[in-house]
Amino acid sequence: MLRAALPALLLPLLGLAAAAVADCPSSTWIQFQDSCYIFLQEAIKVESLEDVRNQCTDHGADMISIHNEEENAFILDTLKKQWKGPDDILLGMFYDTDDASFKWFDNSNMTFDKWTDQDNDEDLVDTCAFLHIKTGEWKKGNCEVSSVEGTLCKTAIPYKRKYLSDNHILISALVIASTVILTVLGAIIWFLYKKHSDSRFTTVFSTAPQSPYNEDCVLVVGEENEYPVQFD
């Protein structure tokens, strides 16, 4: 009984523990800092930039955005060693003519750039950004591409995991572990209590005094006493 009950008690708690430490959506993603990355190596024909973006949104992500030199270097290194990407990767960036500035599709702030040229006099309508793998620099190009050789996508680590400090993560892990231990101990104590109670019940009946007569003897004695013996 105890063995059958323990899995039912532990599975929900183990699921909570797994959820607490889960980071990226699956093992095909790579984590760096507070984000997860995946390179979709499938070459596709596209009619617009939205077709490229849909490749990422279908996976619950968006096109890549880069916010510091470390992230830029990580992407370059991973593309060269693991993803084997093409020479130029389309960034998730577009030129907003209303504000006359580049913006990220994922609505994150433009806090970093690595342009090869800073010419502000050129016409930037329908201009996209590409990451050049050999140099790590960004270059501007026409958004009207007919095909892409791969799409680089990025998603944030789930909110609960992202905004917990290391101390809070440790405390959460300790609470889960304590809950598991207390549940196991409670199940063991209940099992021992039930076993002890059943044992006492059996002992009481096994040690109860028994009549020296069996049922047949008692019946005979009763029948004999029904008629008194008369003596002449």
Residue 3 pLDDT > 60: no
DSSP E strand stretches across 109-186: 127-132, 138-142, 147-148, 151-156
Q: Are 48 and 142 in contact (CB under 8 A)?
A: no
The Cβ-side half-sphere exposure at 56, using a 13 Å CA radius, reads 25
Write the DSSP string, 199-211: HHHHHHHHTS---
Residue 120: predicted pLDDT: 63
Asked whether residue 69 falls in the same domain as residue 132, the answer is: yes
Domain that holds residue 182: 159-198
Lowest pLDDT segment from 28-32, 111-115, 190-194 = 190-194
CATH number of the CATH domain containing 131: 3.10.100.10
Q: In what order do the strands lie in the sheet with 151-156?
A: 30-32, 35-40, 151-156, 62-63
Q: How close are the terminal C-alpha atoms of the chain, in Å?
A: 72
Q: Are residues 43 and 125 both part of a single domain?
A: yes
Asked if 133 and 46 sit in the same domain, the reply is yes
pLDDT digits (tens, 9 = 90+) for 93-106: 999 989 889 999 99
Please indicate, yes or no, whether residues 62 and 130 belong to a single structural domain of this protein: yes
| Residue 219 maps to a domain | no
Residues 60 and 124 both lie in one domain: yes
Helix (H) or strand (E) holding 45: strand 44-45
Q: How far apart are CA 41 and CA 78, in angstroms?
A: 13
Same domain, 134 and 166: no
Tell me the C-alpha distance between 46 and 4, whole Å.
55
Q: Residue 204 falls within a domain, yes or no?
A: no
Residue 203 is assigned to a structural domain of this protein: no
154 strand-pairing partners: 37, 62
**38 and 59 housed in the same domain:** yes
pLDDT in tens, 186-213: 889 988 887 777 766 555 445 555 555 5
In a domain, 56, yes or no: yes
Rounded distance between C-alpha atoms, residue 157 and residue 159, angstroms: 6
Is 211 among the domain residues?
no
Label each residue of 71-83 as H, E or C: HHHHHHHHHHHHH
Identify which of 188, 203, 192, 152 has the alpha carbon closest to the alpha carbon of residue 9.
Answer: 188
Is the pLDDT confidence value at 114 over 60? yes
Q: Name the residue type at position 154.
A: K
Domain boundary among 107, 136, 157: 157
Based on the domain organization, do 184 and 140 belong to the same domain?
no
Q: Are 105 and 64 in contact (CB under 8 A)?
A: no
118-123 mean pLDDT? 67
Between CA 99 and CA 171 the distance in angstroms is 45
Q: What are phi and psi of 38, to 5 degrees?
A: -145, 140
Among 67-81, 139-153, 161-175, whose mean pLDDT is lowest?
Answer: 161-175
Does pTM surpass 0.85?
Answer: no
In a domain, 216, yes or no: no
- Shared domain check, 151 and 167: no
Do residues 179 and 135 both lie within one domain?
no
Say how many domains are in the chain.
2
Task: Verify that 151 and 184 share a domain, yes or no.
Answer: no
Q: Are residues 79 and 137 in the same domain?
A: yes
Asked if residue 22 belongs to a domain, the reply is no
